[in-house]
Every structure is written in C-alpha cells, then in structure tokens.
Amino acid sequence: MNIAATLKSDITPEGSDYETVRKVIEMITEDYRHQPSLDDVAMRLGQSPTQLQKTFTRWAGLSPKAFLQAVTLDHAKRLLRQESMPLLETSFEVGLSGPGRLHDLFVTHEAMSPGEWKARGAGLTIRYGYHVSPFGLALVMATDRGLAGLAFADDSDEEACLADMTCRWPNAVYVHDQEATAAYALRIFDSARWNPQQPLRIVLIGSDFQIRVWEALLRIPMGRAVTYSDIAGQVGQPTASRAVGAAVGRNPLSFVVPCHRALGKGGALTGYHWGLTRKRAMLGWEAGRA
C-alpha cells in the first residue's frame, strides 16, 4: 500500500514538496567538497532549475543557497551562542504557555511514568494515522488526553515506523483512525494555527529522567539551539550529557518536542532518530520562519 500517494497534500502546500527537498538536501550536504550546483541537482532530479528553485523556496521559505547557509556549522554555532541561559532558567508555567514565544507551537503537557503507564495505561487506546507533512509522511498518535506520538516515515516504510512506535508502549491498544489524528497534523504543521490561547495538549510517557530532558527541550524556542551538555546541566546532572543524548534520542514526539534543536558542543548535528537529513530539514525550515 502506498499511503502517501492516497493522502496527496492534505496538510500544507509544502507537504508534497518534501520528497524533492529531501533529495536536494541530501545531495548538497552529503559531500560538501563537491557541492553540486543547483543546475546539477535539477538535472539529476529531472527538473528544470527554475522549477526546482521555486519548489524549494516554497517549502523552506529560503532559497536553496540561503538554506544551505542556515544549516552550516557556522550558523549552528551562532544558534548556540545566542545567550541561552535565560531561557533555560524559565519555569514551566511561564516557559510553556506564557508570553514571550518560547516554543512557538504552544504546548501543555502531562507526564506519565512507566509505573503510572502500567497502572492506568494498560489497555489505553492510542489512535494513529498517517498524514502528509512538510517533513515527509508523518505518523501521528493520540490518546484521549492528547498527542502522544509523532514519527516520520520515508517512502513506504510505514510499517517499520509504526513498529518503532508501538513497541515503546506494548500494552496499549492501537486503532488506525485517520480522522482522529487529522486535526492534530493540521495544527502541528501549519504555523498559522499555533496559538497560545489554545495550547496543544500532549502526553509524555517515559522515565523520570527522560521526562525532565524532554521538558527541557520544550523550552528551546524556535530558531535557537542548545547542546547536550546544556541540557545535562539544566536537569541537574551536569556530567550526564551522554545519557541526555540517549534520552533525547528516545523522544516520542518528534518535532513537537524539538529534539532537532539539540546539537553537539561544537555545533555538529550528531544524530537524529528519523535521519540526519530530516534534522537538517527541520532546522532549515525553522530558519526560514523564525
């Protein structure tokens, strides 16, 4: 089955552009010594340069050239340097729903530890659906208390993507329900619908440590970034950056909990559960909107 094809671009106009954009990003970053020109890329994709330029700019909000600039080491370092201290000190109440656009997708969350999850969550129903997003096909999962999972699938590995998510909460009952998740998708990926008055409700399910790390991520505003060790310090375990990395990598709410804004100390992108290209894409996409 090809879900992506049946969905068309039901979310945002940029949604259907991602496949193209992804290839472009891959080509121009994979070997930056031999960075291909836009013409080369266009030719390899079988498109005209002007058409490609247009597609890319519509998606990114930046020209390919500007985009490339926005995902270089240099720029990453700048994101890190913007005085990050104040934002990390902000308390939750203020941080998440207060003034001052912290996370631009305003979010309220409740946390569920594995214990609680076991007690209350066994048999809890999770509805899921696939939706076109600016970052490829998105798998959206929700309980009746809010958004619980967000993952991405590249061409037709929806199965693997679903498995990746369901094995995290093996006790839940899963129901494929496109209609239940459509509204979430619509709202998450369309920045015009981000609204502090009606924050998005999310449910965080994980260990204490993981929750603390994810909460820290939620406080990084759009267009900024922090290092793993920053987060370690913030959760009160300054030497635990390695462990932080692991916890960040287990984030079940990709994009919504902005784990793509966590970088290595030198500004390198290190890893990303859903592919480094996607991390790059998110950072660049945000740069075009910040």
Per CB under 7 A, the list member of 52, 68, 248, 253 interacting with DNA is 248
- The residue range among 5-13, 35-43, 122-130, 263-271 that interacts with DNA, by the rule CB under 7 A, is 263-271
* Shortest spacing between CB 233 and DNA, in angstroms: 10
Among candidate residues 118, 25, 12, 33, the one with its CA nearest the CA of residue 65? 25
Q: Is 259 one of the annotated active-site residues of the chain? A: yes
By C-beta, is 156 or 241 nearer to DNA?
241
Catalytic residue among 79, 259, 262, 287: 259
Question: Which residue lies nearer to DNA by CB, 12 or 251?
Answer: 251
Residue 78 CA to chain centroid, in angstroms?
A: 20
What is the nearest approach in angstroms of DNA to the Cβ of residue 18?
19
Among 21, 96, 141, 259, contact with DNA (rule: CB under 7 A) = 259
Q: Does 275 bind DNA (CB under 7 A)?
A: no
**Using CB under 7 A, which residues numbered 184 to 213 contact DNA?**
206-210
Mask for 27-66, x = binds DNA (CB under 7 A): ----------------------------------------
Question: Least CB distance from residue 179 to DNA, whole Å?
Answer: 29
User: Smallest distance, Å, CB 184 to DNA?
Assistant: 21
Catalytic residues: 259
Binding site for DNA (CB under 7 A): 206-210, 227-229, 237, 239-251, 259, 262, 264-265, 270-273
